């Protein structure tokens, strides 16, 4: 797929408030110390402060009142503008590498011209025979370029666990023996950009 230019999706600008809050927090985490992006137009301290300001304004606005709601909207607009600035920088650096782009916490606009959405991946098997890692086997998805993996300790928040260009043997590493993890996968490509996440599958790491 050489020669493809990937673009950052700005769909975060229309996310509901709570999801925008989480999206901004994830970008700050993913960009902090990320060696692929050494010269962001905003420092992650600055972006984090804007995200925290929006978070606090969002909580305050739950009390109601036109002034608090107006402050929430102002904080939202500031955060969206900042994310757009950082997103443009990410695209300028990582436009030829989907993996690098996704490592920033931003998502990509699909470049696939196929006119059908992606099917949801199915995890067919999970192998925990190797210590500290799982090996996943998926049902391959037509028009998928890449598979994105998430993991979590069952009951906790999801976290990124890597990308894979093939479905038959996907490694999930860095697991703690004796801990039960859930994993889920989505496909990237097609006309919708991303499939739905697969049903989670749980397994104990050895």
Co-location of 36 and 128 in the same domain:
no
Asked whether 203 and 134 are in contact (CB, 8 A), the reply is: yes
Alpha helix ranges (H) inside 95-138: 98-102
pLDDT single digits (tens) 83-94: 999 999 999 999
Which segments of the chain have a pLDDT < 70? 1-4, 110-116, 190-192
- Looking at residue 100, what is its pLDDT? 92
pLDDT single digits (tens) 42-67: 999 999 999 999 999 999 998 878 88
User: What is the spatial distance between Cα 137 and Cα 64, in angstroms, rounded to a whole number?
Assistant: 49
In a domain, 47, yes or no: yes
Co-location of 162 and 199 in the same domain:
yes
- Looking at residue 163, what is its pLDDT? 87
- Looking at residue 64, what is its pLDDT? 79
In a domain, 2, yes or no: no
Q: Which residues contact 49 (CB under 8 A, 6 or more apart)?
A: none
- Looking at residue 25, what is its pLDDT? 95
Co-location of 83 and 128 in the same domain:
no
Co-location of 25 and 104 in the same domain:
yes
Co-location of 61 and 77 in the same domain:
yes
- The total number of structural domains in the chain stands at 2
Co-location of 89 and 30 in the same domain:
yes
């Amino acid at each position: 797929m050489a020669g493809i230019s990937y673009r950052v999706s700005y769909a975060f600008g229309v996310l509901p408030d709570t999801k925008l809050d989480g999206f901004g927090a994830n970008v700050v985490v993913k960009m902090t110390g990320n060696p692929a992006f050494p010269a962001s137009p905003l420092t992650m301290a600055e972006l984090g402060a804007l995200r925290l300001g929006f978070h606090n304004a969002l909580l305050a606005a739950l009390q109601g009142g036109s002034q608090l709601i107006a402050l929430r909207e102002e904080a939202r607009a500031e955060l969206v503008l900042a994310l757009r600035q950082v997103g443009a920088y990410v695209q300028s650096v990582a436009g030829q590498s989907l993996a690098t782009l996704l490592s920033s916490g931003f998502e990509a606009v699909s470049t696939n011209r196929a006119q059908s959405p992606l099917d949801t991946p199915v995890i067919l098997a999970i192998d925990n025979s190797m210590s500290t890692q799982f090996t996943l086997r998926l049902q391959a998805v037509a028009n998928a370029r890449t598979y994105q993996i998430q993991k979590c300790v069952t009951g906790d928040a999801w976290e990124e666990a890597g990308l894979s260009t093939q479905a038959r043997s996907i490694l999930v590493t860095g697991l703690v023996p004796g801990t039960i993890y859930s994993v889920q996968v989505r496909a990237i490509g097609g006309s919708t950009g991303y499939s739905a996440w697969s049903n989670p599958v749980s397994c104990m790491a050895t």
